[in-house]
Structure 1
Amino acid sequence: MTLHDLELREVGDVSGKTLLHLQCHFGLDTMSWSRLGAKATGVDLSDAAIDLARSLSAELGLDTRFIRSNIYDLPDVLDEQFDIVFTSYGVLCWLPDMDKWAEVIANHLKPGGTFYIADGHPVMNVFEMSEAGNLIPTYSYLNEEWLWEGGEPSYAGEGTIESPVYEWQHSLGEIVTALAKAGLQIEYLHEFTHCFFRFFPTMVQGEDGGWRLPEYNESYPQIFSIRATK
């Protein structure tokens, strides 16, 4: 089981429900939803990730379905609606257009269905950490495109792929507004002062598995979650 208590608690019981997992990587969370009784479908852009997900699902004897598609092209590939659309952690930074993203979500939700996202809080992307361990405001909080030079870890194995890396910063306002414009009703927006990955080197991991910045007395939100209905 790779899901955290946060997602399990906030998504709730998925037994017998259809669930679409956007940007599923190689599908460990998708398969976790299957283990909890959902009829789960995972979608990712990477051929290598989807091939691995299908292999793992078959090895584990699960009926989890995986589809290779760009998220924005999904309505042309998949003509289905789901009880739940789910996405989490490290997803929005790869998407340039929040309005189009939200429209895809609305397109694949059944009437009365639930959308849920948990992801890194955009305010944390504003900071770099100095050698002295201080957070220095460096980047814009508002919508911005970033280009990083260098390699990214390969899906297919060890090593990196040497290519430019594009990421996009999206404010909470932009994210929530896109979902509302697509016709979804926001149930809640939650913010948390811990995360599930070591975003900065001075972070300390607690007994609950969450990483925190003790020197800042949990002053900054590090992840957020949104639940919305159609």
Structure 2
Amino acid sequence: MDKYLETNRQNWNDRVSIHVASRMYDLEGFKAGKNPLHSIELEELGDVSGKKLLHLQCHFGMDTLAWARLGAQVTGVDLSDEAIALARSLSEELGIPARFICTDIYSLPGALEDEFDVVYTSYGVLCWLPDLRRWAEVISGFLRPGGRFYIVEDHPLANIFEWDEASGTLRIEYPYFPREEPMYFEPGPSYTDGEGVTSVGAYEWSHSLGEVVTSLVGAGLEVDYLHEFPICAWRRFPCMVQGEDGWWRLPPDVVEIPMTFSLMASKRG
């Protein structure tokens, strides 16, 4: 594992305890039966009963186990050994059958031999991947003929902005197009509530929407749709307001930008 992935593994190991204690993840609510999945993925992915589902970058498995509660036969994959250990513990504690594998995505073909009806990934995943071409090839390799890949993710355009408190506006801060070298972020708080901070920094990569689509098509998948939404699953900017539906939105006096996208692609048989 190269230095970037190893640093990020340690960073995500730190985040596990922070996220477990956060109101945002609401682990106790999940244990009591609350569904952490959002309306977009529930509506667009639809009925998963009896389907084999591979969840890439599954963190500590709440969403993976949520799909299992909805009838899927699930396999979750994550880089963080702390996250996978907790995912396995939750599976056992709650009596929800699931398989969890600790590896980076690029090494997954050496750790898993299977084909799936659905490959799924969501919210804050692409920035941790240096090579989308290889990512798409791995996805295609695990899909059975007729299988579907589904992603719901933070929109790349939203990723270029920071909130400027002084001016009360969004400020362009980060690149939209991919660069050879990743961006480095110093140790600090995670994106959830709480006081915890990471002990190591993190490396992230920018990926444009065009790169996402082209990588999947290049791996032999056919794009069924690409949807864009002005809502966010988390409070990306401090000015955002949460609606009764749980989604976060920019206030009316701020120009609306796409905050989330979803994409479905199929492997033709």
2:145 aligns to what? 111
| Separation (CA, whole Å) in 1 of partners of 2:261 and 2:106 | 23
Aligned CA distance change for structure 1 residues 37 and 218 (closer, same or farther; 3 Å): farther
Aligned to 1:162, what secondary structure does the other structure show? coil
CA contact (8 A) 1:152 1:165 kept: no
Partner of residue 173 from structure 1, selected from 204, 210, 216? 210
1:196 aligns to what? 233
Write out per-residue CA displacement over residues 51-91 of structure 1, whole angstroms, 9 at most, x where no aligned residue: 00000010111111111111100001101010000000011
| Separation (CA, whole Å) in 2 of partners of 1:161 and 1:128 | 21
Tell me whether 1:136 sits opposite 2:171 in the alignment. Answer: yes
Aligned to 1:176, what secondary structure does the other structure show? helix
| Separation (CA, whole Å) in 1 of partners of 2:59 and 2:229 | 24
The alpha carbon displacement at 1:169 in A equals 0.8
1:222 aligns to what? 259
CA contact (8 A) 2:169 2:254 kept: no
Give the TM-score of the pair, scaled to structure 2: 0.81
CA contact (8 A) 1:188 1:226 kept: yes
* Coordinate RMSD, CA, aligned: 1.5
CA contact (8 A) 1:152 1:162 kept: no
Tell me whether 1:31 sits opposite 2:68 in the alignment. Answer: no
Aligned to 1:224, what secondary structure does the other structure show? strand
The alpha carbon displacement at 1:218 in A equals 6.0
CA contact (8 A) 1:204 1:211 kept: yes
CA contact (8 A) 1:89 1:118 kept: yes
The alpha carbon displacement at 1:41 in A equals 0.6
CA contact (8 A) 2:127 2:207 kept: yes
Q: Which amino acid aligns with 1:117?
A: I
* More divergent stretch after superposition (36-45 vs 132-141): 132-141
CA contact (8 A) 1:148 1:165 kept: yes
Name stretches of at least 5 consecutive residues in structure 1 with no aligned partner.
none
Aligned to 1:83, what secondary structure does the other structure show? strand
Q: Which amino acid aligns with 1:208?
A: D
Give the TM-score of the pair, scaled to structure 1: 0.95
The alpha carbon displacement at 1:229 in A equals 0.2
Partner of residue 73 from structure 1, selected from 93, 101, 107? 107
* More divergent stretch after superposition (17-26 vs 161-170): 161-170
Aligned to 2:184, what secondary structure does the other structure show? strand
Partner of residue 127 from structure 1, selected from 161, 166, 169? 161
| Separation (CA, whole Å) in 1 of partners of 2:158 and 2:67 | 28
Name stretches of at least 5 consecutive residues in structure 2 with no aligned partner.
1-34
How many residues are treated as equivalent by the alignment?
Answer: 227
2:136 aligns to what? 102
Write out per-residue CA displacement over residues 91-111 of structure 1, whole angstroms, 9 at most, x where no aligned residue: 111001000000000000000
Name the one with the larger strand percent: 1
